[in-house]
Amino acid sequence: MDYKSKTQKKQEAYSLQKLGEKLLQLSKEQVREIDIPDEVLDALNLARTIKSREGLRRQVQFIGSLMRKIDSEAIQEAVEQIDQGNYKKALEFKETEQWRDELIAGNNKMLEEILENHSNADRQQLSQLVRNARKEAGNNKPPKSSRVLFRYLRKIRSY
């Protein structure tokens, strides 16, 4: 067994406490997907109900101490996978927004590119949505058609 200095032990304990905080930030459904012992799951559920700042801090420390007793590598990997999935969703959302904005701005090359790369896109419907959104933007009206275009772009992208 390797020797660990007091500093190393403290750093590991602190990182496990931070992992517990990340678990608290996840939704209950996401936490259920991760293989977590019942004792830690109960502590997480209790922490969600605590309103007191100091009480929550102590509960997070308790979660960290429970995490030291179990193999937390699998939990760490699962949390990282969830974080990466959220990052990818955010990137897709931003890219879809960019498509919409370029289509409304008049980039017809983008329209052709979308139709070429997404076989499920209907040329007539997409063109109509773009036309409506451009007309709406030109008349300074609320962005109803722009939202419809965005939803359609997300739909064709998800197939």
Domains and CATH numbers, the chain: 6-70 (1.10.60), 87-158 (1.10.60.30)
pLDDT tens, residue by residue, 86-123: 888 888 889 999 999 999 888 889 888 888 888 888 88
Residue 52's pLDDT is 93
Q: How confident is the model at residue 140, as a pLDDT?
A: 85
Give exposure, 131-159, as e/b (b: 16+ Cβ within 10 Å): ebbbebeeeeeeeebbeebbebbeebbee
| pLDDT of res. 57 | 93
Give the tokens for residue 80: 């990282």
The answer to whether 31 and 41 are in contact (CB under 8 A) is yes
pLDDT band at residue 46, thresholds of 50, 70 and 90? Answer: very high
Q: How confident is the model at residue 2 (pLDDT cuts 50, 70, 90)?
A: confident
Average pLDDT, the chain: 89
Question: Which pLDDT does position 128 carry in this prediction?
Answer: 92
Which percentage of the chain shows pLDDT scores above 70?
99
Q: Is the pLDDT of residue 138 over 80?
A: yes
